[in-house]
Each structure stands twice: as structure tokens, then as C-alpha cells.
Amino acid sequence: MTDRIAELTKLTLEGKMFAEMTATEFDREDIFLSKQEMESKRLCEHMLNQKPVLTQYQKMTGFFLCRNGIVVGDAFHRQGHKAWEEMRKDFYLKNIDNLSTLEWQHATADYKKVLEKGIRGIIAEIDDSLKTHSEKEEREFLFALKNVAETFIKWAHKCSEKALELSDKTDNPEYKNNLKTLSNALKNVPENKPSSFYEAVLAIYVCFSADPDSVGTLDRYLNPFYEKDLKEGRLTRDEAKEYLQELFLMLQAATHIANGNFTRGGESHFCIGGYLPDGSDGFCDLSKLILEALIELPTWIPQVSLRWTKKTPKEVFRFVLDCERKDPNKRIAFQNDEKRLKCYTEICGFPFEKAVGYTTVGCNEPAFLGAITGSNSKINFARSVETLFHKKAETIENAKDFEEFYEIFTREMKSDLEIAYEYDNKYNRERAKDINYISSLFFQGCIEKAKSLTRGAGDVVIASPMYMGITNVIDSLIVVKQFVFDEKLITMNRLIEALQNNWEGFEDLRTIIIKKGDFFGNDTDRSNYVAQKLYQTLYEFLKDKTNLFGYHWLIGDLMGYNVHHKWFGEKTKATPDGRFSGDSLKFGLGQSEGKDRNGLTALLNSIAKVDPNAIGCGSTVTNLMIEAELVKNDSYFEKLVDMLETYFKNGGVHFQLTYVSKEDLINAKENPDDYCNLRVRVSGFSDYFVKLNETIQDDIIERTTHKC
């Protein structure tokens, strides 16, 4: 790390690089303008009134925030989105009938377009679109976008002037030259397409203000600039690393130090590697440099996922896993392109060339460059099981075999899902009342269709409400099949009675189920059969279904920052898997509580086999807890690399690793001051264990620790 980057890192970790907002006074006569004219006018005035974050150590500047709630800001923070704010009061994190809850959405801007065309090229697109749209509201929207685009250029020029002013006050010759270089570069980008790798990174730095979320597929759209500059001798690898690190520091600084998310990687998440449109594997020297640059920084944001393909060389997979085990802040996770692209091309119907543009954002939600994640909700997937055993027991007590029971369950499950998906549509329908200008400027379809991204402008978007309790449901179905029908150890009526009494008086039965249950994750014929049967049913139910914007429904299962699995579980009565009334549900696709008894290989096999149709390639996460020795010991580590590569080859979608002993986790919960630096992967993001909600801490403690 250079001295310059070290100084910027220090300022970032002290919270001094945060873009504080300058208040703007607006003309009271704005009220006489149309809604779109007023909102865009005030947004532009707010932008130009901001002060660039600028120190003598910088070679980049230009990031600002719209978070005062007065102007209509970016689509991620949603400030000034009045319909969203009204809906948020009553529904955000507040479930409906213990079935559906409103949640957040992530996205990534189309930085590739910015680098190929510059904002001047985007303005030309707006002018072309104006020729084809005659409706008043559409034209007002396009004019609003054009005003914002032109203001972005003015903002960059303002930053240019400030950099030049600071250069005159700086004594250090190197830093003085850096600021002059920055000033000149801001006269070109993002207004025009970049002429160098440095200008390309700077353009992203400035435009990140429009959607301060994910930077998408960073290596592939920066690589042409990187390779060209290296070849022509205008750039060294070390210089490129500096530029990347300054960008990453800005992504960290975009979250205020007082915000509880300052140490959570889910605030910005992007991908490297993966298939390119021509079918080749995209991991390149720049991908490697991105990892090297990131893990050299003692920061937490952003986090990155490797997109693995069958063409990914073994040494690349090993290199990224090696980076992961050396990264104390645990910013690296892994995706399987083979499974995800099967989903996006075969189920969603996206052309391969567009499907390969996906990235993972936030806590592991998939989004495509210039697109948002298409859902807003969490679903209590276990509610259907609860209903059958606690409210409609008469419908199942005389089922003659598992298949008949499963048909009854399927009807209840589909009924719940129909209701939950309609709630998701309602959330989207309400959000569509808001018009976004600054993010829509950089999102697919918004200019061509003269439509805000909040109104379904994108054509490559998926909808993935997240199921809480999917493993609980699989295990409950297994228990019914195993104990009631296969082994006939209990009757259906006795199981119903046990659950309705919350296992009280049936402790011996529960003990047998916990000890002998053929639970998911053990790679047995029965457990695999039930899990695959459920996913096949979900595939048949969802494969042709889309939401109100035409986005395909897929299965998600992650929790995110908020403990929905706890909130749903608190109102969900006892279930056949041995869960008590009020216990948290499970999230993610995996197993815990020691129920995966047959080891890591069996667990990975079970997960890889469960979903051959790839309907579950929405927002999914698989947490793997392994012994630290498996990563610290080089011999064991090589075996782990082979095992995880095989897991992907067999159809696994995702994994992220935590290798902390259960003893350390328990001690950390009891004596947090002694374990301040203990970091774990949670639900698509990492954080310090002692900072986590107690419910999440308990969930991590309950994960099965696997040995080699």
C-alpha cells in the first residue's frame, strides 16, 4: 500500500471521507411547476450545491449523496420517494398475517454504458427517445433525465475547479500534480467516454452517486482500458491497484461511520470472473488485481464474489479461495455460473449475451448491469405446514400415504404463495407511484421506454421473494414420510397432537425425531427425494409465472440484515422437524443444529442435487461452517479446494465460509470485549460477531462445524 492510499485509508476509517450534505434552499414558486419539473429542478440544484470531498491525497473525487428526504434521490436510499415512505410506515419489516413482509431492493447502474458513451452519449439517447414519445408525462420524464445528465456534467466541472484550487495550496509536488491531473480528467469524464484506465475508474467514482449500491461486473467493463494502457506503457499494475483502492475506499466511505452498516460488506457487493458473452471465462489479470487491491485494504466494504465456470482454471479457483482464507475481513464469496445461467436462460428466457451480465448485490441478490432486483418481500414459507397441523388437521389425519399427504400440503403451500406473491406485486405497485430521475439515468430501458426504473422499465430483471424456513419445511416433510408412513413409528394423529401441545408430554417422541430423523443435508435417498420433490413442485408452479412487470418469479432464501426468520418464527407454532412454537425459522439453503450428521461432503451433495431445474437461483445463500484447520493446514486446504470445486461441478449455486470454533463463538457471546475482531459470514454479508443481533449470533452458533 502506498503512502497516499495509507493516508486515505486512515481518513476513511475515521469517517472523514463521508460526503456530508450541504443544505439547499429552493424557490417557493417551484410549487407552480409540474411534479416532474419541480422534482428534477430541485434535484439538479441540490447536486450543484454540494461540496466535493477533497484532500491533497486524492486522485479522485465527485461522489455526493441525496439523503435529505427533500429531493428525489437515488433508487437505493429512496430519499424523497413519497409513496415508498408512506408504505414503509405500515409495512417495512412489519409482516402481514405472518406471511409477507416488505423489504429493501438492491441494484447496479450500467457503468458499461457510461464508459462506452459518456454522459454526452446518454443525452443523445434521450434526444432520440424524445423523437418517439409524444405523451406529456413521458416527455417530462425524459426532459427531467436530460436535466440531471447535464447537471452531472456541471457537477464534474465544479469538482474539476475545486481540485485545481486545492492544487495551488498543496506543497507536496506529487500531490499537486495529482490534483492537476484530476482537474483535467474531470473536464473529460464522465461527460465523454474515458481515454484511459484512470479516467474510467474516475467516471465510475463520480457516477456511483446515482446509485450508491453495487459496481456490478467491474473487471469486465474496466479490462479493455486496463489492457490497452498496459500495452501502450501508460499504466503500471501498481498504479492500477492504487486507482482501484481509491475507488474501494470511496465505496466504504459512502456509508457513515455512525451507521451500524459501516462494517457490513452487503452495502456494496460486486462480482469478478464468470462467462463473457462469447462463452469464454472472464477471470483475467485485472480480476486478480481487484482481489489483491481489496484484501490489502483494512476495510469491510465492498465485498466481492467469484463467478465460477467450468472453464475457470483450478489455479484461479484456488487463488481466490486462498485470498478468502487470508482476508481477515471476510469479503469474498463464491457463485456458480453454470447453475445461474441455466436459470436465467432457460427459465427467464434471457439471451445468453445478456444473462452473463448478472452480478450479485447486497446480501447476495442477483441483478443485471443497469437493473434492479425485482422483489421487495420476505415470505414465511413454513406457514403452510403450520396451517395443516394446527388449523386444518382434519385434512391430513386420514392421509393413506405420503403422496396423498404431500398433495394436501402442496395445495396449502401454493395458496400461501399466491397470496404472498400478490403482496409483492402490491409493494411494487405502490412503489411505482414514485418517479426516480438520478438512478433511472443509468438503468436499462428507462430512456428507451421513457419510464422510471420504479415502474418496471428493465427487460433483464428477476423477481425473487425470499422464503424463510425452506429447510424447516423440507425436514418437516421428511419427518412425516419417515416416521408416519415409511417406518410407521407414529400415527399422523399422534404427531398432530404432539405439535398442538408444542411437544409438551411428547418429549420422547421429539428426542427420537431429532436423533433419528433423516434430515436434509445427509445425502440419503429419502432426504434427497423429499427435497427434490419439493423443488420440482416449486419449479412447476413458478416456471411460467411473472410479476406485474413481467419479471420471472424465482426462489430466494436469504435473510439479509434483518431477522425475519426470528419474527416469522415467533408467530409460527411447532413444526414436525422438532421446532418449538416461537423458535426462529431457518434461512438459506443448508442445515444446522447438527442435523447434517454425515459430514461436509454429504451436505454439499444434498444441496447440489436439490434443484436440477435451477428455479432456486434467485437470492440464495449457503453458509458453510468448517474447522479452522481445513483452511490453515495447506494439505487440508487442497482437499477443501477439490471438494468445493466438485460441489460447483455437481450443481451447487453458492457458498461462503466461516471457520471459527463453536467454543470461540460461545465465548465471544459471553465475553464480547475479548473477541472484538472475530468476524463471520452471516447471510450473504460479513460482520463482527459481537456486533450481531443475539438471534443471529445463536443461529451462527447452531451451524454444524464440519471437519475434513
Q: How many helices (H) and strands (E) does the chain have?
A: 26, 17
Buried b / exposed e over 292-312, threshold 16 CB at 10 Å, is ebbbbbebbbbbbbbbbbeeb
User: Do residues 304 and 266 make contact, with C-beta atoms less than 8 angstroms apart?
Assistant: no
Position 707 scores a pLDDT of 78
CA–CA dist 351, 36 (Å, integer): 34
User: Do residues 458 and 370 make contact, with C-beta atoms less than 8 angstroms apart?
Assistant: yes
Peptide bond into 190 cis (omega under 30): yes
468: left (phi over 0), alpha (psi -120 to 50) or beta: beta
Long-range contacts of 473-476 (CB under 8 A, 24+ apart): 473/381, 473/382, 473/384, 473/385, 473/413, 473/534, 474/520, 474/527, 474/530, 474/531, 474/534, 475/517, 475/519, 475/520, 475/576, 475/577, 475/578, 475/595, 476/382, 476/385, 476/575, 476/576, 476/577
Residue 687 sits at φ, ψ, to 5 deg, of -165, 170
Grid coordinates 423523437 are at which residue? Answer: 131
Q: Looking at the DSSP assignment, which residues form a beta bridge with residue 463?
A: 553
User: Do residues 72 and 81 make contact, with C-beta atoms less than 8 angstroms apart?
Assistant: yes
Report the interhelical angle of 314-326 vs 285-296 (nearest 10°): 10
Q: Domains in the chain, ordered, with CATH?
A: 3-64+111-368 (3.20.70.20)
273: left (phi over 0), alpha (psi -120 to 50) or beta: left
Position 708 scores a pLDDT of 62
CA–CA dist 383, 519 (Å, integer): 19
* CA-to-CA separations, 26 to 1, 2, 48, 65, 145, in angstroms, rounded: 44, 43, 12, 17, 19
**How far is CA 370 from its chain centroid?**
15
Those residues whose C-beta lies under 8 Å from the C-beta of residue 138, and which sit 6 or more positions away, are: 450, 451
Position 656 scores a pLDDT of 97
Minimal CA–CA distance to 521: which of 471, 463, 561? 471
Those residues whose C-beta lies under 8 Å from the C-beta of residue 577, and which sit 6 or more positions away, are: 472, 475, 476, 478, 479, 513, 517, 519
Residue 553 has what DSSP assignment?
Answer: E
CA–CA dist 12, 301 (Å, integer): 11
pTM: 0.97
Grid coordinates 407511484 are at which residue? Answer: 433
3-state secondary structure 244-308: HHHHHHHHHHCCCCCCCCCCCHHHCEEEEECECCCCCECCCHHHHHHHHHHHHCCCCCCEEEEEE
CA–CA dist 554, 614 (Å, integer): 9
Q: What size, in residues, is the chain?
A: 708
CA–CA dist 351, 358 (Å, integer): 12
CA–CA dist 252, 9 (Å, integer): 10
CA–CA dist 206, 192 (Å, integer): 13
Q: Looking at the DSSP assignment, which residues form a beta bridge with residue 273?
A: 307
| Cβ atoms < 10 Å from Cβ of 123 | 20
Those residues whose C-beta lies under 8 Å from the C-beta of residue 475, and which sit 6 or more positions away, are: 517, 519, 520, 576, 577, 578, 595
User: Do residues 250 and 205 make contact, with C-beta atoms less than 8 angstroms apart?
Assistant: yes
Residue 706 sits at φ, ψ, to 5 deg, of -100, 140
Where the chain has pLDDT below 50, the residues are none
Residue 704 has what DSSP assignment?
Answer: P
CA–CA dist 652, 427 (Å, integer): 31
Dihedral sign from CA coordinates of 386, 387, 390, 392: negative
User: Do residues 324 and 681 make contact, with C-beta atoms less than 8 angstroms apart?
Assistant: no
CA–CA dist 672, 398 (Å, integer): 52
Classified as helix, coil or strand, 399 is coil
Expressed in percent and rounded to 5, the helix, strand and coil fractions of the chain are 50, 10, 40
